[in-house]
Amino acid sequence: MARKRFGIFLPPHHVPVGQNPTYSLQRDVQLVQTLDQMGYDEAWFGEHHSCGVEPLGDPLMFIAHCAQVTKHIKLGAGVLSLPYHNPFLVADRVVLLDHLTRGRAMLGVGPGALATDALMLGIDPKDTRAALETDVEVLMHLLRSDEPISIKTDRYELVDARLQLDSFSDPHLEVATAAIVSPSGPRLVGKHGLGMISIGATMSQDGFDALKMHWDVVEERAQEFGQTVDRSGWRLVGPMHIADTRDQAIKDVAYGIDAWFDYLQHTAAAPQLGVLGENTKERIEFVIESGMGVIGTVDDAIQKIEQLEEQSNGGFGAYLMFAHNWAPWEQTLHHYHLFANHVIPQFKGTTKRLKANEAWTRSVREPLAARQWDAINSWTAQHAEERAQATGGKVVTAQA
């Protein structure tokens, strides 16, 4: 089994509204630094412009900042709402970011999850998926080809446009598209040979159905356009909170799960991320019983990832935890510690030799221990004899 990658998908959700935004953003940076130290592979950051809860308006700027205070973790725009931008300027900026981060930057693109964002930009949400198909075509041409491109749409015009800077990564930084319940993301993945972030992988039963559909669409489109697609670029996203016991996990999330649900149910115009429940108990039960996420223990987390492995019908490359503030800060950090220390090794296989070596040493412990005592007693007796001969005294055999 290929080693899986692990990380977070951080919109971020700072609920309830009214928290210090400067401190909240700094805590997001601190979380990324902590995950870097714990050995997580990836962190993805969203782009949102409304609702007062997800205050990252520019994930590329956030990546540039986080890259300066981390060492190893890869950092992705998850996702940049491409129809809100001129794709030439996006391509130009991400190539620069590719150099500044020495290849640690990744670009996720999507149509935009919040209808209120599109509304403020004068874009009808019903048009964003068609716009995304056009914009990804332009973006990938700019990243992959030296030939100029000219195009005129309702939102921008390019005239003999080409990038002036070659990529740092070969052939360019990784590009992935978001997929929730519609086939728009998988269509682009197959057509252009991109990565895919299945944000709706565990959100509901509909999400599970979509998960089954996602890769079928990818392979069908890849065959149509002669592209090669790789499951290692497929990332599944789902929420989790684990603790030392299930009871403790439930107690932890009672702190903030209501505000998170209230945001998705009553503020964010994103029905594709539908959740159910009117009080704390109902919402916790919904997360657990619907399969949307995990509120439990290390074993529950392992079981969920194994379930998704089977559900994907062939495997996937990375699991990203949908970051949230269900639990207090200290308990949230303990969750990530437990996941890093006990869940990740199960799927990376990095403890196989340690476990095998321990089992082997246990199997030979008793005979080796007896030989060790024989050796100790022999040398002790020899030492006593040498001392006696040197002093002319009586030989006394000491016990080790």
The per-residue pLDDT string of the chain (400 residues; one tens digit each, 9 = 90 and over) reads: 589 999 999 999 999 999 999 999 999 999 999 999 999 999 999 999 999 999 999 999 999 999 999 999 999 999 999 999 999 999 999 999 999 999 999 999 999 989 999 999 999 999 999 999 999 999 999 999 999 999 999 999 999 999 999 999 999 999 999 988 778 899 999 999 999 999 877 765 444 456 778 888 999 999 999 999 999 999 999 999 999 999 999 999 999 999 999 999 999 867 667 789 999 999 999 999 988 999 999 999 999 999 999 988 899 999 999 999 999 999 999 999 999 999 999 999 999 999 999 999 999 999 999 999 999 999 999 998 888 888 876 555 555 4
Please tell me the predicted confidence (pLDDT) of residue 315.
92
Annotate 324-368 with three-state secondary structure.
CCCCCHHHHHHHHHHHHHHHHHHHHCCCHHHHHHHHHHHHCHHHH
Annotate the chain with three-state secondary structure.
CCCCEEEEEECCCCCCCCCCHHHHHHHHHHHHHHHHHHCCCEEEECCCCCCCCCCCCCHHHHHHHHHHCCCCCEEEEEEEEHHHCCHHHHHHHHHHHHHHCCCCEEEEEECCCCHHHHHHCCCCHHHHHHHHHHHHHHHHHHHHCCCCEEEECCCCEEEEECCCCCCCCCCCCCEEEEECCCCHHHHHHHHHCCEEEECCCCCCHHHHHHHHHHHHHHHHHHHHHCCCCCHHHEEEEECEEECCCHHHHHHHHCCCHHHHHHHHHHHCCCHHHCCCCCCHHHHHHHHHHHCCCEEECHHHHHHHHHHHHHHCCCCCCEEEEECCCCCCHHHHHHHHHHHHHHHHHHHHCCCHHHHHHHHHHHHCHHHHHHHHHHHHHHHHHHHHHHHHHHHCCCCCCCCC
Q: According to the CATH classification, is domain 5-350 in 3.20.20.30?
A: yes
